Amino acid sequence: QAVAVSAAQPTLSLDSLPRPATPPPETGPVVPSRVAGWRQQALAYEHGDGVARDAVRAAELYCRAARYGDAESQFNLAWMLTNARGIERDDAQAAHLFAAAAEQGLEQARNMAASMGTPRGAPPPCLRQPDEDRAAAAAPRPARRSLPATAAVPVALAPPRNAPAPIVNFVKLVAPDYKLEPQLVLAIIATESNFDPLALSPKKAQGLMQLIPDTAARFKVRDPLDPAQNIRGGMAYLRWLMAYFQGDIALVAAGYNAGERAVERYLGVPPYAETREYVRRILAAMDGHRQLPFDPTATAPSERMLLIRPVVASR
């Protein structure tokens, strides 16, 4: 769908942008040290290494770490479930856990996931958001049907400290054309590329908003390394995601990082370490705001929103 643009087209030249002195934030299946610690404790309890063997305690610790996206814990818990290693066998839960670990690149999990087939039913509790994340997500929100009209626009937030002025000015000028808040766009750029216009990821994502080839083609970006084209393409995708997930910043950020299908499959932020950390960074940049207005004409909402966020009954 065409996007209305300003009469005077803002421009952004690659020559005008500095390369950042530091690389983009680390990505990949990196987990906090405390989560890795839970996994190590679980291993000790599972195998009786220095402590009395306790399969139930091991499973509890693996489950806790799995919720934070720790792929090894997801795999180890799935292995215990499918082999009844001190706990009751549950192939259905194991299939979900193997799949989550496989989607994060764990090779042994890929083999097990392939042998078990497509997981069925809702994701198990050990793949749901950690308790503190769920508590934040459960904060009062407007009723689903009234989100576009009632979602509060945040006060103007300061751009990231390392954001080059030409990028900030361009985003502020262009974001309204896509019905987006500039701070959300700048937060995505900061997290994706650290404002490096020539950033290239191992997955072939390019430029300031790290567009993969499929996304660039989907939103008609001819040159992903052209800063203006890249930002416009990223904004077009964000505009679509905002409508698809009805302005829910956590879901939009998760969709931008892991893809909208992963969000739908897991009925929320996918249990990937990278994605959970990515969403945390975006929400922190938005100063606690979790909901923004969106353009409902961009696309119909995801049918899974009824399961992700039940409709608030009218009173």
**Catalytic amino acids?**
192
The partner residues of 206 in beta bridges, in order of sequence, read: 200, 211
Distance CA 33, CA 109 (A): 22
Distance CA 214, CA 203 (A): 11
Number of Cα atoms under 13 Å in the Cβ half of residue 305: 21
Which residues neighbour 127 within 8 Å (Cβ) at sequence distance 6 or greater? 66, 67, 74, 96, 97, 100, 266, 271
Phi-psi region of 158 (alpha: psi -120 to 50; beta: other; left: phi over 0): beta
Distance CA 315, CA 306 (A): 18
Distance CA 73, CA 170 (A): 43
Distance CA 301, CA 3 (A): 18
Distance CA 165, CA 195 (A): 11
The DSSP line for 94-106 is HHHHHHHHHHTT-
Tokens of 36: 């890795």
